[in-house]
């Protein structure tokens, strides 16, 4: 019997009981759709989180920090805790380096009128917003000019602004840091979902590094920002600079490239999301198994109902193989249609989610193709037992069956 003949026959007998065939299909449909939706959401979430963490990691700045600042603990004797001018000079001596800037982190107290607050202080060059991952949402960022002229200007985070000024306008107001007045020129917000916003507090004060050195002459830089010339291999240059700094410090692990740290964090997050997706996907897979059991159940019912038909077919010359194939094609038709509907639903869910939430959810096409094949395979697995049962019926008993 030819394949198109068998498929024609399968459709004819499914059409004879449309509601039942449809309801059986729904089980597979839901199973496939939920697996695809979860994979899509998992992929989208992973892409979003990794994108957020490593956003800007491709920029041409190497951020070098003393290891102690990365992994807090009791400093070893001789442990490098800060970056001094000789370190800056070493970095600057590499070809391919455009400029070397310092960034200071620390805690401080700011005052405005009768209010005061503990803040995290960031001091750095005029591209500090890039390095410390914040956006100036009102006013402006301090400029290179501000930095050069040691101006007493500050950008404050939104939450600090709220604490000090309530709903009033912070721009142009004067705050005091360690007795020194600073003019507020901008209000900042952390870049959305960046790693820094998780790690750093929310009451932040950002000032030019030159101003910081004036106010706190004893502070030493906490981070060295090496700006790389265009076209230079950033990671290889970073390795060479870190190596040179470590040799200079006499400690093989004195400094690290913190953007490398980001890369490893994002790899870890990627792994965790993948595992989570797999686990939840496996739970959704249970729905598919339940759907498959439903198909097997209905096929068994169908074999019983059509016992006489099977007897008739055998009397007309159907071979065992013909009977088995007939029922297998029927159950495969149910599960494949369910699979197709599930794939369509899964894709619709991911498209809808992308439109509604901006999570870049997507169904990778190999996953879609695989779930179609898999649903057909479920049809074979779940149809096999009923089909073999049908083929092994005694034709005489089957003919007599009413």
Partner 1 sequence: MIRLVGVTKSYRVGDQVIPVLKGIDLEVGRGEFVTIMGPSGSGKSTLMHIVGLLDRPTSGDYELNGQPVLHLPSNHLARLRNQNIGFVFQNFHLIPRMSALRNVELPMVYAGVPRARRRDRAMELLEKVGMANRAHHLPNELSGGQRQRVAIARALANDPAVLLADEPTGALDQQTGAEILRLLQDLNASGRTVMVITHDPHVARAGRRILHMVDGEIVREEVRDESR
Q: Stretches 8-16, 166-174, 194-202, 229-237: which one binds partner 1 (CB under 8 A)?
A: 8-16
Give the nearer residue to partner 1 in terms of CB position, either 240 or 320.
320
- Cα dihedral 337/338/341/346 (nearest 10): -140
Query: How many binding residues for partner 1 (CB under 8 A)?
Result: 23
Q: How far is the CB of 317 from partner 1 (least distance, A)?
A: 2
Token pair listed for 330: 């029927």
Crossing angle between the packed helical segments 258-305 and 307-315, to the nearest 10 degrees = 70
Beta carbon nearer to partner 1, 47 or 312: 312
Binding mask 382-401 for partner 1 (x = CB under 8 A): -------------xx--x--
Name residue 124's beta-bridge partners: 208
DSSP-derived secondary structure letter, 136: E
Cβ 308 to partner 1 shortest distance, Å: 7
Q: Which is nearer to partner 1, 311 or 379 (CB)?
A: 311
Cα(120)–Cα(71) distance, rounded to whole angstroms? 18
The residues, any chain, with a CB within 8 Å of residue 115's CB and separated by 6 or more, are 163, 164
Please say which residue, 13 or 210, places its beta carbon nearer to partner 1.
13
Whole-angstrom distance, CA of residue 343 vs CA of residue 347: 6
Which residues in the 136-165 window bind partner 1 by CB under 8 A?
Answer: none
Neighbours of 73 (CB within 10 A): 8
Please identify, using beta-carbon distances, which residue of 1 and 174 lies nearer to partner 1: 1
Question: Shortest approach of partner 1 to residue 282 CB, angstroms?
Answer: 40
Half-sphere exposure of 169 (CA within 13 A, CB side): 5
Site for partner 1 in 13-32 (CB under 8 A): 13, 16
Please identify, using beta-carbon distances, which residue of 1 and 144 lies nearer to partner 1. Answer: 1
| Closest distance to partner 1 from the beta carbon of 46 (Å) | 50
Q: Which of 335, 306, 319, 293 is nearest to 402 (CA)?
A: 306
For the bound state, the minimum distance from the C-beta of residue 331 to partner 1, rounded and expressed in Å, comes to 18
**Per-residue contact track with partner 1, 320 to 339, x per CB under 8 A?**
xxx-----------------
The whole-angstrom separation of Cα 330 and Cα 299 is 9
- Measured distance CA(258)–CA(66) in Å, rounded: 9
Q: By three-state DSSP, how is residue 357 classified?
A: helix
**Strand stretches in 3-114, DSSP E:** 61-66, 97-112
User: Residue 291 is encoded by which pair of tokens?
Assistant: 């759907």
Nearer to partner 1, 102 or 309 (CB): 309
For residues 223-252, which are near partner 1 according to CB under 8 A? none
The smaller minimum CB distance to partner 1, of residues 208 and 311, is found at 311
Residue placing its CB nearer to partner 1 in the complex, 105 or 401: 401
Residue numbers 269-328 binding partner 1 by CB under 8 A: 308-309, 311-322
In whole angstroms, how close is the CB of 45 to partner 1 at the nearest point? 49
Closest CB 37 distance from partner 1, rounded Å: 37
Q: Find how far residue 314's CA is from the centre of its chain.
A: 58
Smaller CB separation from partner 1, 248 or 320: 320
Do residues 332 and 380 make contact, with C-beta atoms less than 8 angstroms apart?
yes
Rounded to the nearest whole angstrom, what is the least distance from the CB of residue 4 to partner 1 in the complex? Answer: 9
How is residue 200 written in tokens?
């750093």
Binding flag, residue 5, partner 1 (CB under 8 A)? yes
Judged by CB, which is closer to partner 1: 136, or 312? 312
The Cβ-side half-sphere exposure at 69, using a 13 Å CA radius, reads: 24
Of 9-17, 69-77, 109-117, 154-162: span binding partner 1 (CB under 8 A): 9-17
Strand partners, 227: 61, 99
> Residues with Cβ < 8 Å from 376, sequence gap 6 or more?
332, 335, 336, 339
SS3 351: helix
Positions that interact with partner 1 (CB under 8 A): 1-2, 5, 12-13, 16, 308-309, 311-322, 395-396, 399
């Amino acid at each position: 019997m030819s394949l198109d003949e068998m498929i024609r026959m399968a459709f004819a007998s499914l059409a004879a009981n449309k509601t039942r065939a449809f309801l059986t299909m729904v089980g597979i449909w839901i199973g496939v759709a939920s697996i695809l939706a979860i994979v899509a959401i998992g992929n989208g979430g992973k892409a979003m989180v990794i994108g957020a963490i490593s956003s800007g990691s491709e920029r041409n700045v190497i951020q070098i920090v003393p290891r102690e600042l990365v992994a807090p603990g009791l400093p070893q004797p001789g442990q490098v805790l800060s970056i001094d001018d000789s370190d800056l000079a070493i970095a600057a001596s590499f070809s391919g380096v455009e400029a070397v800037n310092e960034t200071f982190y620390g805690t401080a107290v700011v005052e405005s009128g009768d209010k005061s607050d503990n803040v995290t202080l960031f001091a750095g060059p005029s591209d500090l917003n890039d390095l410390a991952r914040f956006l100036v949402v009102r006013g402006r960022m301090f400029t290179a000019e501000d930095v050069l002229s040691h101006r007493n200007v500050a950008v404050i985070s939104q939450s600090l602004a709220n604490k000090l000024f309530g709903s009033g306008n912070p721009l142009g107001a004067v705050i005091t840091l360690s007795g020194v007045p600073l003019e507020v020129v901008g209000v900042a917000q952390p870049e959305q979902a960046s790693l820094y916003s998780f790690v750093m507090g929310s009451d932040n004060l950002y000032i030019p590094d030159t101003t910081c050195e004036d106010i706190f002459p004893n502070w030493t830089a906490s981070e060295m920002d090496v700006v790389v010339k265009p076209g230079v291999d950033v990671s290889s240059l970073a390795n060479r600079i870190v190596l040179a700094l470590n040799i200079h410090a006499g400690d093989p692990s004195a400094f690290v490239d913190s953007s490398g740290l980001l890369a490893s964090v994002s790899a870890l997050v990627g792994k965790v999301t993948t595992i989570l997706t797999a686990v939840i996907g496996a739970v959704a897979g249970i729905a598919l198994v339940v759907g498959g059991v439903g198909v097997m159940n209905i096929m068994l019912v169908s074999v019983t109902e059509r016992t006489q038909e099977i007897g008739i077919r055998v009397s007309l010359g159907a071979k065992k193989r013909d009977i088995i194939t007939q029922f297998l094609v029927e159950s495969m038709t149910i599960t494949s249609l369910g699979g197709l509907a599930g794939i369509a639903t899964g894709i619709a869910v991911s498209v809808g989610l992308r439109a509604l939430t901006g999570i870049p959810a997507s169904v990778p096409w190999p996953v879609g193709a695989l779930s179609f094949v898999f649903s057909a395979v479920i049809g074979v697995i779940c149809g096999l037992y009923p089909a073999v049962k049908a083929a092994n019926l005694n034709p005489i008993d089957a003919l007599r069956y009413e």
